[in-house]
Chain A
């Protein structure tokens, strides 16, 4: 993490989330994310990872608590100002959410077009990005004709094309082979080195082990655990993932012992 400058980028304070009148799916979530760091969010299925990510990418307002993003109170922010914050985020959705009527190229170009960039500044970066995720020859294909792995790569390309300040990825390597998973992880790391804060929700312990400087947040039944000190202030500069499984909390992540 060469670009870490410890600037606060996201702060959650006693955040709770419930859908409708149901019970809370997230309870007393408090943490701070810092600029330029690489975070993994782990937890069993149903632990609330996707709900937490929804709060992070501003798809959901919490039922209670405070959220500050990029120095702005995201709770009281008028909704007409939300796009400004969202344009600073890159999101890889678990279900990809590609636009079905657009080609792979147009899907990847979407954030740049939303931002109003001219086509002359869109074509080359998007083409390069598609080449890089090995979809250069599929750039005109619509999502329905792409395999799950190809769709996932398009979704990732779309998330990173705008060089976001923070990348939020929900199981981004779930449908790709190990080689492509590692390649995509290297892309996230490259973005991270350029200063992008990366938050990846994953079950894949092997993936976590590939990013030794990453910080881990673990959700358990809607509550956040702090196995690596990611949530402490000041955060620990370097948290060897290998050390994770030696701690009781680390054992709870299910990561294999070194």
Chain B
């Protein structure tokens, strides 16, 4: 008899071989079906770059949105009245008359004659204040900064103009929002641009994961066929790929978040150093940072779903 020890004991062991394990053991068992090349390929790096760029694009978009929102709120009820007259004494008289007229108009919250030193500061970059400069000799208009209770609509501007021009014929009344209109349009265009960039980056991420999944499927095709022949389900095989992709995407996502955050902070510091009033409005709030922190999570979800659906679609072509 060639059996030295009789039939293998496993033949008895088979009798209880139908019991199911818990999900953790099933997970561990599944992980042994295919080689787990985690963090070894270029995928984490590619995802890190994608996520980093998305973080920067999102931060820029949010900062632009904040800038537009705050500036818009600031200037919505703002009206500037200029008294343009060559004679300083007449200009001052009309400015005082206009100020008095403005304060009588309903809906005006505040009206302030801009002091001379502020006007000097405004023209200083262009005209200078060095010794010998005679700023007062220039016909710089007198300015009245007016705040309305509501948005400075065309009708309100017209009513204000009628009231002011009656007493100060040299007065010019303009809504501040009208001056900044092109700026807001530019900001809006930039916001659309960042939105488009984010969409393109998401598309590129999906395409990259798709290619990586197909490549991995091709590399492991023989193994997958064996696992299929042994009764492995599509869902089992897809889970292995999506878990592997989730690990790669999570590592890439964390790296990308760090990269993007550092870049955003450096950019913020650069813009803050410009000292521009408009730029200084575009900070990021806690909600914005929370949204940015969600980008890697969204990236992982996108990568996992892409891997799952691409693998399942490929597996469906096998018997």
- Residues of A at the B interface (CB closer than 8 Å) are 57-61, 79-80, 82-84, 86-87, 89, 91, 97, 99-102, 106, 109-119, 121-122, 124-126, 128-129, 131-132, 158, 161-163, 179, 182-183, 186-187, 190-191, 194
Contact B19 A179 (CB under 8 A): no
Q: Known: A59-B319, A163-B17. Is A97-B2 also a contact (CB below 8 A)?
A: no
Closest partner residue, chain B, to A182 (CB atom): B2
Q: How far is the CA of A124 from the CA of B21 in the complex (A)?
A: 16
- Taking CB atoms, residues of chain B closer than 8 Å to A84 are 231
B29 interface residue (CB < 8 Å to A): yes
CB-CB under 8 A from A131, the residues of chain B are: 8
Cβ of B33 < 8 Å from any Cβ of A? Answer: yes
Knowing A91-B229, A97-B222, say if A191 contacts B29 (CB, 8 Å). Answer: no
**Distance between A208 CB and nearest chain B CB, rounded to angstroms:** 18
Contact of A118 among B18, B21, B222, B228 (CB under 8 A): B21
On whether the beta carbons of B35 and A87 are closer than 8 Å, the reply is: no
Q: Are A194 and B17 also in contact (CB < 8 A) when A58-B319, A79-B316 are?
A: no
Select from chain A the residue with minimum beta-carbon distance to B235. A80
Q: With the chains together, A84 CA to B226 CA distance in Å?
A: 15
Which residues on A sit within 8 Å (CB–CB) of B41? none
Which residue of B13, B25, B232 contacts A119 across the interface (Cβ within 8 Å)?
Answer: B25
List A contacts of B26 (CB < 8 A).
Answer: 116
Contact of A114 (CB < 8 Å), options: B15, B28, B232: B232
Q: Are the CB atoms of A163 and B14 closer together than 8 Å?
A: yes
Most buried by B among A80, A116, A124, A129: A116
Contact of A117 among B17, B234, B236 (CB under 8 A): B17
- Decide yes or no whether B32 CB sits under 8 A from chain A: yes
Instruction: Determine the distance from Cα of A28 to Cα of B127 in the docked complex, in whole angstroms.
Output: 102
Q: A83-B228, A97-B222 are in contact. List 15 more A-B contacts (CB 8 A).
A: A57-B229, A83-B233, A84-B231, A101-B35, A106-B32, A112-B29, A114-B230, A116-B26, A125-B14, A161-B10, A182-B2, A183-B2, A187-B8, A190-B7, A194-B14
Interface residues of B (CB under 8 A from A): 2-3, 5, 7-11, 13-22, 25-26, 28-30, 32-33, 35, 222-223, 225-234, 236, 316, 319
CB distance from A125 to the nearest CB of B (A): 4
- Does the CB pair A121–B16 fall under 8 Å? yes
Across-interface contacts of B29 in A (CB, < 8 A): 112-114, 116-119, 122
B19 close to A117 (CB less than 8 A): yes
Q: Among the interface residues B19, B21, B229, which one has the most CB atoms of the partner chain A within 10 A? A: B229
Q: Are A118 and B22 CB-contacts (below 8 A) given A183-B2, A187-B8? A: yes
CA distance A111 to B222 in the complex (A): 16
Q: Are A114 and B319 in contact (CB under 8 A)?
A: no
17 A-B residue pairs with Cβ-Cβ distance under 8 Å, sorted by A, are A79-B316, A97-B229, A101-B223, A110-B230, A114-B29, A114-B232, A114-B236, A117-B20, A125-B9, A125-B10, A128-B9, A129-B8, A129-B10, A158-B230, A186-B3, A190-B11, A194-B14
Residues of B contacting A119 in the complex (Cβ-Cβ under 8 angstroms) = 25, 28-29
- Tell me the minimal C-beta distance from A54 to chain B in angstroms: 10
Q: Which of A80, A86, A102 has a CB less than 8 Å from the CB of B230? A: A86
Cα–Cα distance between A7 and B222 once the two chains are bound (Å): 34
Residues of B within 8 A of A89 (CB): 231
Interface pair A125/B230, CB less than 8 Å apart: no
CB atoms of A128 and B10 under 8 A apart? yes
Q: Is the beta-carbon distance between A111 and B231 smaller than 8 angstroms?
A: yes
Query: Which chain A residue shows the least CB distance to B30?
Result: A113
Chain A residues, CB < 8 A from B229? 57-59, 86, 91, 97
Inside 8 A of B234's CB, which chain A residues have their CB? Answer: 80
Bound-state CA distance A100–B109 (Å) is 81
A156 to B180, CA, bound (A): 80
How far does the Cβ of B82 sit from chain A's closest Cβ, in whole Å?
77
- Tell me the nearest residue of chain A to B33, going by C-beta: A113
Across the interface, do A162 and B233 meet the contact criterion of CB distance under 8 Å?
no
- Considering the complex, give the chain A residue whose CB is closest to the CB of B2: A183
> A179–B30 Cα gap in the complex (Å)?
36
Known: A58-B319, A187-B8, A190-B7. A111 touches B230 (CB 8 A): yes
Give Cα A162–Cα B74 distance, bound, in whole angstroms: 75
State the 6 A-B residue pairs at the shortest beta-carbon distance, nearest first: A163-B14, A87-B231, A118-B21, A113-B29, A132-B8, A125-B10
CB-nearest residue of chain B relative to A111?
B230
A113 to B25, CA, bound (A): 9
Question: A162–B17 contact, CB under 8 A?
Answer: yes
Nearest B residue to A179 via CB reads B2
